[in-house]
Amino acid sequence: AQKITQTQPGMFVQEKEAVTLDCTYDTSDPSYGLFWYKQPSSGEMIFLIYQGSYDQQNATEGRYSLNFQKARKSANLVISASQLGDSAMYFCAMREGEYGNKLVFGAGTILRVKS
């Protein structure tokens, strides 16, 4: 069965510094997709970045990059130049297989950016 593990319940980072949020996954399916979502206190889930299992390069979206290490089954999110507005809950999620939109989520990491 597929599983997502986020081992950091909470993280602090100084404004303007970079931070890495950890995510490891487990699946036996050769085709899968990995996602990171941000959830501010308002509750809405905001899509940040996506990495496909067959992608050769690490995904990047503005200040977000995904450090994808397939052999280690890890998909860490790197946020560069942290901003106060980055304070939120961050979820790593995985879709297993070629079809469907069922995501399995990790427990999440609360990120607090300090000024």
Partner 1 sequence: KAGVTQTPRYLIKTRGQQVTLSCSPISGHRSVSWYQQTPGQGLQFLFEYFSETQRNKGNFPGRFSGRQFSNSRSEMNVSTLELGDSALYLCASSSRTGPFSVLTFGAGSRLTVL
Residues across the chain: 115
Q: Which two tokens stand for residue 57?
A: 């390069």
Which CB sits closer to partner 1, 17 or 98? 98
Which CB sits closer to partner 1, 16 or 102? 102
Output the smallest distance, CB 77 to partner 1, in A: 15
Output the smallest distance, CB 7 to partner 1, in A: 14
Asked if 76 contacts 90 with a C-beta cutoff of 8 angstroms, the reply is no
Which CB sits closer to partner 1, 10 or 14? 10
Question: What Å distances lie between residue 106 and 3, 14, 80, CA to CA?
Answer: 8, 24, 22
Provide the binding-site residues for partner 1, judged by CB under 8 A: 31-33, 35, 37, 42-47, 50, 52-54, 91, 93, 95, 98-108
Asked if 68 contacts 58 with a C-beta cutoff of 8 angstroms, the reply is yes
Query: In DSSP terms, which residues pair with 103 in a beta bridge?
Result: 95
Question: What Å distances lie between residue 114 and 29, 88, 92, CA to CA?
Answer: 40, 12, 23
Output the smallest distance, CB 104 to partner 1, in A: 7
Output the smallest distance, CB 51 to partner 1, in A: 11
Which CB sits closer to partner 1, 15 or 98? 98
